[in-house]
Structure 1
Amino acid sequence: MSSHLSKTEYEIMEYFWGMGDKYTFGELMKYFNENLDKNWKKQTLNTFLSRLIEKGLLKKEKEGTKTCYQMKITKAQFKQNKARAILKESYDGKISHFIAALTGDDAITDVDEQELLSQIKAIKSDS
């Protein structure tokens, strides 16, 4: 699953995440063209929807004569996948490398340390 989205792909996903339902192509065209003044042609929306399906974020199903689009993952899942991808790609998959890069030469404050320790304890107790 790809965690990189263009601005428009993210905007489309925001609609699905906010509404949390399934929509026909016509309903999506109407919403984006009338509510957000996109002035998209059918092919434009179709291209964006196809990309989101390829990226594993949307699915489409045939319901009678209509095709419906629905989200496959929640916004929280998307953000978690994106964070994991960044951690893996840029910090060898290690949180300690990320924290070191984030703080640089600055020391971690006592508040930050306690917050991190609390998060670690919460994660450990859930597993």
Structure 2
Amino acid sequence: MKISDSELEILRVIWAHNGRMMFSEIVDEIHALGFEWKNNTILTFLARLSEKKILDVQKKGRRNEYIALLTEKEYLEQETKDFVGKFYEGEVKGLIATLVENELISDKEIEDLKEYWRKNKE
């Protein structure tokens, strides 16, 4: 389920509003974020997300409401699994080694992860 960066921006807006928004609300929010996309461009992204079964579209009179069919958490879980599988052959240790070796994770973040691990192993 690959989505473009632009489609992800649309999804983030919808997720931030409990996973449901009317088209006009999406347009207002996208423009408030500084995107200068035309309405037809936004409609194209929404149509693609609907075709990919990531959004459902429900008619409310003559207007469309867009409903996320998966949560942000579910999307991130799937993307993370795909990433680790593709680049690290499913080995999370390789990902963590890359983060440590390239100083992309701080000592504090490592300690926070250790604490998280301890709490969630109980």
TM-score range, shorter chain: 0.5 to 0.7
Which runs of 5 or more residues in structure 2 are unaligned?
none
Q: Percent identity?
A: 24
Task: Report how many residues are paired.
Answer: 120
Confirm or deny: 8 A CA contact 1:61 1:69 kept in the other structure.
yes
Q: Kindly state the Cα deviation for residue 16 of structure 1 after the two structures are TM-superposed.
A: 0.6
TM-score (norm 1): 0.65
1:76 has 2:81 as partner: no
Query: What is the rounded CA distance, in whole Å, between the counterparts of 1:38 and 1:112 in structure 2?
Result: 36
Bigger Rg, which one: 1
Considering Cα pairs closer than 8 Å and 6+ residues apart, tell me whether 1 or 2 has the greater RCO. 1
Confirm or deny: 8 A CA contact 1:57 1:73 kept in the other structure.
yes
Equivalent in 19, 22, 30 of residue 20 of structure 2: 22
1:10 paired residue number: 8
Letter in 2 for 1:17: W
Q: Kindly state the Cα deviation for residue 96 of structure 1 after the two structures are TM-superposed.
A: 1.3
Aligned-pair Cα RMSD in Å? 3.4
Equivalent in 55, 63, 67 of residue 64 of structure 2: 67
Q: What does residue range 1-127 of structure 1 map to in structure 2 within 5 Å? A: 1-2=1-2, 4-6=3-5, 8-29=6-27, 31=28, 35=32, 36=34, 38=36, 40-42=38-40, 44-63=41-60, 65-104=62-101, 115-125=112-122
Query: What is the rounded CA distance, in whole Å, between the counterparts of 1:21 and 1:115 in structure 2?
Result: 30
TM-score (norm 2): 0.67
Q: Kindly state the Cα deviation for residue 47 of structure 1 after the two structures are TM-superposed.
A: 1.1
Q: Deviations over 1:16-35 (max 9, x none)?
A: 11112533434434x25764
Q: Kindly state the Cα deviation for residue 89 of structure 1 after the two structures are TM-superposed.
A: 0.9
